[in-house]
Amino acid sequence: MEQQQSVRDNPLAFESTGRLIAKYSVPSVIAMLVSSLYNIVDQIFIGQGVGMLGNAATNVAFPFVNICIALSLLIGIGGASNFNLNMGRGENEKAKSFAGTSISLLILSGLALSIFSLLFLKPILIAFGSTKQVFPYALTYTRITALGFPFLIATNGFCNLIRSDGSPRYSMVVMVTGAVINTCLDPLFIFGFHWGIAGGAAATVIGQIVSCVMAAVYLTRFRTMKLTKDCLKIKADNLKAIVSIGIASFFNQIAMMAVQIALNNTLAYYGALSSYGSDIPLACAGVIIKVNAFVMAFAIGIAQGCQPILGFNYGAQLYGRVRDTLKKEIITVTAIFSAAFICFQLIPRQIVSIFGEGSAAYFHFAERYFRIYLFMVFINGLQPIVSNFFSSIGKAWKGIFLSLTRQILFLLPLILLLPIFLGIDGVMYAGPIADGIAAVTAFFLGRHEFIQMQKLETSQDSSETAAAVLR
């Protein structure tokens, strides 16, 4: 009874869902936007200081960022979701164990990826779609940024735990601090010290190190409980539970990486057969992917911010609050993405111009790419919101399926098949077709779960009424 009372006394169980969403999601969105700014700021300064080939190089290197984020989400969301689900059930010691296991896994995975990347960097960059002209820039950039992989993975994963501990604002401050440092150092290193693309990479790594140190300091003084050295032991049961929930977000990022690699190679191949050449499509794709990632940061940030609310209330069997939270998430994200759609259709040239100058062919391709590839962006937020919802309530396999729909099941085959018939234009049209099908799939799966929760809530009300009559 005491545990049950402590659960009901938690603000997650009774505070207004709208207020909770704002409290948890706004810092999370800011943190995600700031995280995406690492790449956008580099793209802007490198584009201005190095030129089109620099933009293409950061695009070729971007799949590494997808891998880092994938690992941090796998462990961070998996650990944080299990932490909140067990806190909602009143099992505090078990929740503490999940937090410790997650911390250890984040550190080890970051070190492993950094070492592997540096050992096999050249063949990996070629596989990622680098052309001969772009390769030297991509090699220089990635050799430096690979040193920051452990810090990038740890920081993003730690921030999920920090939010779950009830400190979304500190999580935001961690990410903002690193981004501000990166933004200040980029022009100094690129233009002041004349380090070129190496300067952009160095600024990124320094910002990541500072953010990681700040996040690690917080974890030594967890709010809801005190973590001990014993908590840091990796337990097989915890590992399985973390992976089972975090795997959906992991697959979503890996799918994005696989699509980008296919996209880079397809653009380079069919670009060489067109009037644009191979380097212009690669450079344009780099800009558009970063801008789209910035917009997607809103959906991912809101989804991650709502994870503690969804997980806690589902664990506490407060299904009405879960449904209300999900409904408000979807409405908010759709409004934001609709605004992005208007910008992409009306001012694509102005957006591309921020990332440096180019030829008339460069801007012509970029404008068409924006308008066609991102034509369905207004409904793109539905898939990550619903996928993360399933992960938050412990229904990992539904989340996994949804995370694979847009990227692997729909977009990847279309990117490979449509250019056979439409040339390089086929790549552009693959985007909106895949987006539309993925959104419809997410809607029906989410709607089904919504109805199931309504039935559970009705059943609860009937049981409580019967118990009151008996008393």
Residue 1 is predicted with a pLDDT of 46
Q: Is 434 left (phi over 0), alpha (psi -120 to 50) or beta?
A: alpha
3-state secondary structure of 28: helix
Question: 100-111 b/e with 16+ CB inside 10 Å = b?
Answer: bbbbbbbbebbe
H/E/C letters for each residue in 442-462? HHHHHHHHHHHHHHHHHHHHH
Residue 469 counted as domain residue: no
Residue 120 counted as domain residue: yes
Residue 471 counted as domain residue: no
Q: What is the domain count for the chain? A: 1
Whole-angstrom distance, CA of residue 171 vs CA of residue 211: 10
Contact indicator for 303, 80 with CB cutoff of 8 Å: no
Question: Which residues make Cβ contacts (< 8 Å) with residue 199, sequence separation at least 6?
Answer: 49, 185, 186, 188, 189, 190, 193
Q: Which residue has the tokens 């190679």?
A: 265
Residue 462 is predicted with a pLDDT of 62
pTM score of the predicted model: 0.74
Domain that holds residue 71: 1-461
Please provide the DSSP assignment of 44-55 as one string: HHHHHHT-HHHH
Contact indicator for 34, 294 with CB cutoff of 8 Å: no
Residue 470 counted as domain residue: no
Residue 116 counted as domain residue: yes
Per-residue pLDDT of the chain (471 residues; tens, 9 = 90+): 444 555 556 777 878 888 898 888 888 888 778 777 767 777 788 888 888 888 888 888 989 988 998 999 899 988 988 888 888 777 888 888 898 999 999 999 999 999 999 999 999 999 998 888 999 999 999 999 999 999 999 999 999 899 888 888 898 899 889 988 998 999 999 999 999 999 999 999 999 999 999 999 998 887 766 777 778 888 888 999 999 888 877 887 888 888 889 988 999 899 998 989 888 998 888 888 888 888 988 998 899 888 888 888 888 888 888 899 999 999 999 999 999 999 999 999 999 988 877 888 999 999 999 999 999 999 999 988 998 898 888 787 887 788 788 888 999 999 999 999 999 999 999 999 999 999 999 999 999 998 888 888 887 766 665 555 445
Residue 422 counted as domain residue: yes
Is residue 232 exposed (0-12), middle (13-18) or buried (19+ Cβ within 10 Å)? Answer: middle
Residue 291 counted as domain residue: yes
Contact indicator for 178, 155 with CB cutoff of 8 Å: yes
Residue 468 counted as domain residue: no
Query: What separation in angstroms does the CA of 154 have from each of 173, 180, 454?
Result: 15, 19, 38
Residue 411 is predicted with a pLDDT of 92
